[in-house]
Structure 1
Amino acid sequence: MDSVGAESDAPYMPDTASTRLHSALKLRLCEGDFAPGDVISIRSVAAEYGTSAMPAREALRWLVTEGALVFSDSRKIMVPKLSRERFHEVLFARKSLETQVSRQAFEQLGCDDIEVLEALDAQINRAIEQADLPSYMRGNYRFHFHIYQRSGSVVLLPLIETLWLQYGPSMRQICMRWGASISDDYHREITQALRRGDKDAFCRAVAADIEQGMMLLD
C-alpha cells in the first residue's frame, strides 16, 4: 500500500462564508491587528466583511473555542488579556514546537524560499526604521510561517497557529509599549544559516528569535 502524504491527512475545510471569515480573522489576530481587550461584535464583523450575522457569529464562536477570543459577558466577545505568566508559557511552547517544525522544514527550503525570506526580512527592517508596527507584525508572521509551512506537518502546524492566535495581540501590546526595535537580527542569522546549509545554526537562530520575545517580559 502506498504511504499517505501529509496533504491527504489535512482536514477538509468547506468553502463557506463562515470558514472564510474565520480564516480572515485568524490571520488578523496572528498578525496583531487586534489588541488585548478589544471588543469584536458580530454586527461589526458582518458589516466589515459584507455578510449576514450568521457566518459572523459562527466564525467568532469558532475563535472562542480555539482560545483566541473570550466571552466577556453574554453579549460581548473580546480579545483576552494574557497574564505575564501565560504569555511566557505561550512563548515557551512556541520555542519548542517551532524549533522542531523548522528542523522538519529545513530540507524543503530552497533558493527561492531564501530569497522570499530575505525580502520579508528587508521589509521588517524598514518597518522597524519607520516605526510601522502593523507592517512589522505582518512581516514577522509571514517570515515565520513561510518556514513552518514548508514542513508539511499536519500535527504541529495547527498547534503553532493556535499559539500565534494568543501571541499576536499580546505581542502587539508589548511592541506598542517598548517599540519593535531589536538588538539582534536573528532573521538574518536564519537566512544565512539556510544559505550555508547549516541546519543546527538555523534551528538555533529560530529558537533565539523566539527567546528574544521572552526577554521583553523580564
Structure 2
Amino acid sequence: MYELPVRGETLAEQIYRQLATEILSGSFAPLDRINIRQHADEIGVSVTPVREAVQRLVSEGVLDATDKNTILVPERNEPEIQEIFDIRRRLEGDMAATAAPLLDESDDVFLKKTHGSYLDALDAEDYKTALRLNSLFHFRIYKRADLPLRLKIAESLWLRIGPTLRHMYPTLQRDRTDHRRHEIIIECAARRDPVSLRTAVIGDLNSSQLALNRYVGDQTGEHRRSPSPRRMR
C-alpha cells in the first residue's frame, strides 16, 4: 500500500510513507512512543520533515498527541475496534464486489502466491511479515475497483488498527481454521462473482474482529506497561 515510491513526493511525504508502512506492518506496538528527533537523527534529516509526517499521522487519527507533546501509538479498545470494523465491512465489501468482474488471471496468481507466503510467515511466527502480506492480499482486490477515495479511507482504517492487529496474530494462530477465509476469497475472486466475493471479504473481517476481541479480552486485568521510548527503524 505505502511501500512503492511516488514520483515527485517531498521528503516529508517519503517519511510519511515509510512510517505508514512500519505502522501497518506492526513495527510499533500500542503505547509505543514516537521520538521525532531520534528518528530524524537515524535517517539523517532535519526534524522538520519528520515532524510534518508525524503530524499528518496524528491528524489522520493513526497516532495520538498527548498534553505533554508526546506522540504515542494508540491502544484500541473494543468500542473503537467495533466502529472500525463496522466501517470496514461496508467499505471493503463494496470495493470487493466492484472489483470482482475486473479481476484477471494475474490477480488469481498473485492472491494464491501471497496467501501461501502468508501461511509460511504464520508458521514461522513472523507476524510482522504476515501482517504485511495480509494487507497486500486484500488491497490487490480493492485497487482493482478503481475507487480512489474509498481506497484512501480503507488504508487509513488499516493504519489505525495495524499495531493492534500485529499482536492479534498469536491469538489467531490458536484456530488455524480461520485461514480458510483467504482460500474462500481466492475461490470467489476466481469466479468473478461480486456477491460471493463481498460475502467472503466480510467473513474474513468478522474472523479478524473476533480474534481482536479475544486479544483485548486476554489483556483485561493484566498489568499495563508504561509507555517507553521505541527505536524507530
TM norm structure 1: 0.88
| Aligned equivalent of 1:50 | 44
| Aligned equivalent of 1:5 | none
Aligned match for 1:208, one of 191, 196, 203: 203
Aligned match for 1:81, one of 67, 75, 86: 75
- Tell me the distance in 1 between the aligned counterparts of 2:41 and 2:107: 37
| Aligned equivalent of 2:193 | 198
The answer as to whether partners of 2:23 and 2:163 remain within 8 angstroms in 1 is yes
- Tell me the distance in 2 between the aligned counterparts of 1:49 and 1:90: 33
| Aligned equivalent of 1:4 | none
- Tell me the distance in 2 between the aligned counterparts of 1:96 and 1:34: 27
Amino acid at match of 1:191: I
Report the aligned-residue RMSD.
Answer: 1.8
> How many correspondences in the alignment?
206
SS, match of residue 208 in structure 1 = helix
SS, match of residue 36 in structure 1 = coil
| Aligned equivalent of 1:28 | 22
Alignment of 1:118-137 (within 5 A): 118-137=112-131
The answer as to whether partners of 1:13 and 1:19 remain within 8 angstroms in 2 is no
| Aligned equivalent of 1:97 | 91
Are 2:32 and 1:38 equivalent residues in the alignment? yes
Alignment of 1:53-72 (within 5 A): 53-72=47-66
The answer as to whether partners of 1:21 and 1:59 remain within 8 angstroms in 2 is yes
Aligned match for 2:101, one of 107, 110, 117: 107
Amino acid at match of 1:206: V
SS, match of residue 214 in structure 1 = helix
- Tell me the distance in 2 between the aligned counterparts of 1:48 and 1:93: 37
- Tell me the distance in 1 between the aligned counterparts of 2:42 and 2:172: 29
C-alpha distance after superposition, 1:58-97 (max 9, x if no partner): 0000100000001124332110111111112111211110
> Can you give the 5+ residue segments of structure 1 that lack an aligned partner in the other structure?
1-11
Instruction: Using the TM superposition, give the Cα deviation of residue 186 of structure 1 relative to its aligned residue in structure 2, in angstroms.
Output: 1.2
Instruction: Using the TM superposition, give the Cα deviation of residue 111 of structure 1 relative to its aligned residue in structure 2, in angstroms.
Output: 0.3
The answer as to whether partners of 1:133 and 1:180 remain within 8 angstroms in 2 is no
Instruction: Using the TM superposition, give the Cα deviation of residue 120 of structure 1 relative to its aligned residue in structure 2, in angstroms.
Output: 0.5
| Aligned equivalent of 1:159 | 153
Q: Which moved more, 1:124-133 or 1:62-71?
A: 124-133
Instruction: Using the TM superposition, give the Cα deviation of residue 164 of structure 1 relative to its aligned residue in structure 2, in angstroms.
Output: 0.7
Amino acid at match of 1:192: E
TM norm structure 2: 0.82
The answer as to whether partners of 1:124 and 1:139 remain within 8 angstroms in 2 is yes
- Tell me the distance in 2 between the aligned counterparts of 1:205 and 1:199: 10
- Tell me the distance in 2 between the aligned counterparts of 1:131 and 1:207: 25
The answer as to whether partners of 2:96 and 2:194 remain within 8 angstroms in 1 is no
The answer as to whether partners of 2:108 and 2:189 remain within 8 angstroms in 1 is yes
Amino acid at match of 1:211: N
Change beyond 3 A, Cα 1:49–1:106: farther
The answer as to whether partners of 1:149 and 1:157 remain within 8 angstroms in 2 is yes
> Can you give the 5+ residue segments of structure 2 that lack an aligned partner in the other structure?
1-5, 215-233
